[in-house]
Every structure is written in structure tokens, then in C-alpha cells.
Amino acid sequence: MTVAQLPPVVAAPQANRRRWPKPTLLIGLALLLLLLVAALVPKVLAPFSPTDFDYEAILQAPTSKHPFGTDNFGRDVLSRVIYGTRIDLQIALFTTLFPFLFGTLLGAVTGYLGRWSDALVGRLADLVVVFPFLVLVIAIVAVLGPGLTNMYIAVSAVGWVSYWRLTRGEVMTQKKAEYAQAGRVLGYSPSRILFRHLLPNSVTPAIVYLMTDMSLGILLGASLGYLGLGAQPPTPEWGVMVADGKNFMATAWWISTFPGLALTLAGVTFSLIGDGLADALRPRA
């Protein structure tokens, strides 16, 4: 019997069925696009400058001229919210990207190597999580001094632990899968098995968490701004704006409310994307 006589192989039935992204992902991406436009070209959208004082129009309720009203310096709240997008997206990105990269990489390596490297990093992680997240970040910023850069450093020093946990656990599961063992039997090097095979199959939870974490990052930036440890006035930052408006809550609710809504919108955007990505990144089976 020769190979030519091998029975014909039927084509797999589901071969060419494409999977469309879920609507949540599409909505999330549309909202993100809106946020990006606001962040990159705020001039186009904003009717006024975010920092110009207008003492003629202090604490005005929403009107057709100032749809979100004005604050105690007469600044247009809509414009400030729009200009705030850039700084808040930046905060969302920088408070999560470094922890994500660092934590995921470390998680992959220690999850794969195990033994002492894993134990060592595990102790370190325990040390970090003993303290409440915010308390630790505040403590570090207090030592380094206020400002966005120091805030990023502080958050990165603490935030990697979650990513490390997620990726480490996933890699430890995946390395028992037969395709990983097959890689060893095929004589592949450990780094190839780890980075080419295990990591792509293990990184999904971390990416999904990254999206949730971005909304948390904005809130964190807001909290720190509120405490005066993050973005410094007069930078239009949503958290700082919420904090500034709180004294006027009873008389001028719009000052805090609209930046608060913007925060929520950004949070929802990231959650939708995270949810959609989780689905899209799942390997088909």
C-alpha cells in the first residue's frame, strides 16, 4: 500500500466559519475612538480653552453656551472635561502598562521555572500585598514627592503583583498541557517553549485584567489628584475636577458630576473592550 492509496481525507466541516467579534467589543472600540479623538485633538471638540478664566461667567448652570456649565473660575466644564481626556487616558495607560509588562513577564518566567525563583518572587509579592494598595502607593509617592511620574513609579512598584499572579498561574497550567510537553520532546529550547508557545496561550487573563485595571487606574489617578499627590492644578484632570467641585456640590452640582460621568464612560469603555477581548482571544476549539 502506498500513500497515494491512503483514504481521502474529508475537509473539516467548520473550516471556513469566521467568528465575528461580539457587539460589546465593537461598542467598546467605538467609545474608545471617541475618547482618542478627544485626547488627540481636543481643540476640535472643545468650544473654549480649558484654563482661561472668565469672571463674567462664574458658576453658571448648564446653558446652550456652556452645556456642562462653568466652574468657580468661570472655566467651561465641557472644555475641561474634553481636555482632561488626554491626561486621564495617559494615566490609565501608564499606571497599567508597566505593571502589565513587568508582571506578565515575571509571571511567565517564574511560572515556567518554578522552584526558587517562584518562591522568591512569591515572598516579594506577599510583602507588597500585606499593605492596602492605596496606602502603599500614597506612602511611596509621599517619599518620592508628588507628580505624575512619581505616581507611575509608585503604582508600578505595587501593581505588578496581580499580573504576576494571573500569568504565573496560567503558565503553570499551560506547561502541563501536552503541546508544551511535545515541545520538550521535539527538542525545543526552554525560551522558545515559554515565549513562543506558553506565553501566547497564557496572556489572555492578564490582558482582560489590564482593561479593568485601566478604569481602576483612572480612579486611582483621581484619588491621588484629589489628595494633591497626582496631577497638579490647573491641569484639567477628571479626578482633580471632581475634587475641586465637591465644595460646590449643593449649589453647582455640574462641576463634579460631568467629570465623574466622563470617568464612568472611560471605565465602561475599558470594561466592554476587556469583555470583548476575552472572547476574541479565546483559542477556537
Could you list the residues that contact another protein (CB under 8 A)? 1-3, 6-15, 17, 177-179, 181-182, 184-189, 192, 196-197, 200-201, 283-285
Spatial distance between the Cα atoms of 138 and 141, rounded to a whole number of angstroms:
5
- Half-sphere CA count of 209, side-chain side, radius 13 A: 21
How many Cβ atoms from other residues are within 10 Å of residue 81's Cβ?
A: 26
CB of 19 to another protein, least distance (A): 10
CB of 230 to another protein, least distance (A): 39
Phi, psi at residue 283, to the nearest 5°?
A: -65, 140
Spatial distance between the Cα atoms of 182 and 16, rounded to a whole number of angstroms:
27
Nearer of residues 55 and 116 to another protein, judged by Cβ: 116
Cα 33 to its chain centre, rounded Å, is 15
CB of 17 to another protein, least distance (A): 7
CB of 225 to another protein, least distance (A): 41
Nearer of residues 13 and 145 to another protein, judged by Cβ: 13
Helix axes 238-245, 204-226, angle to 10 degrees: 40
Nearer of residues 85 and 167 to another protein, judged by Cβ: 167
Q: Taking Cα atoms as reference points, which of 268, 227, 246 lies closest to residue 92?
A: 268
The partner residues of 76 in beta bridges, in order of sequence, read 70
CB of 16 to another protein, least distance (A): 9
Helices (H), the chain: 23-40, 42-45, 77-113, 115-130, 133-144, 148-174, 178-185, 190-192, 199-202, 204-226, 238-245, 254-281
Measure Cα distances from 229 to 75, 112, 157, 242 in Å.
23, 38, 16, 15
CB of 111 to another protein, least distance (A): 17
Nearer of residues 151 and 193 to another protein, judged by Cβ: 193
Nearer of residues 11 and 44 to another protein, judged by Cβ: 11
Nearer of residues 9 and 143 to another protein, judged by Cβ: 9
CB of 189 to another protein, least distance (A): 7
CB of 194 to another protein, least distance (A): 13
CB neighbour list of residue 24: distance below 8 Å, 6 or more residues apart: 272, 275, 276
Q: Which three cell numbers stand for residue 252?
A: 453647582
Nearer of residues 127 and 177 to another protein, judged by Cβ: 177
Spatial distance between the Cα atoms of 70 and 75, rounded to a whole number of angstroms:
5
Nearer of residues 188 and 253 to another protein, judged by Cβ: 188
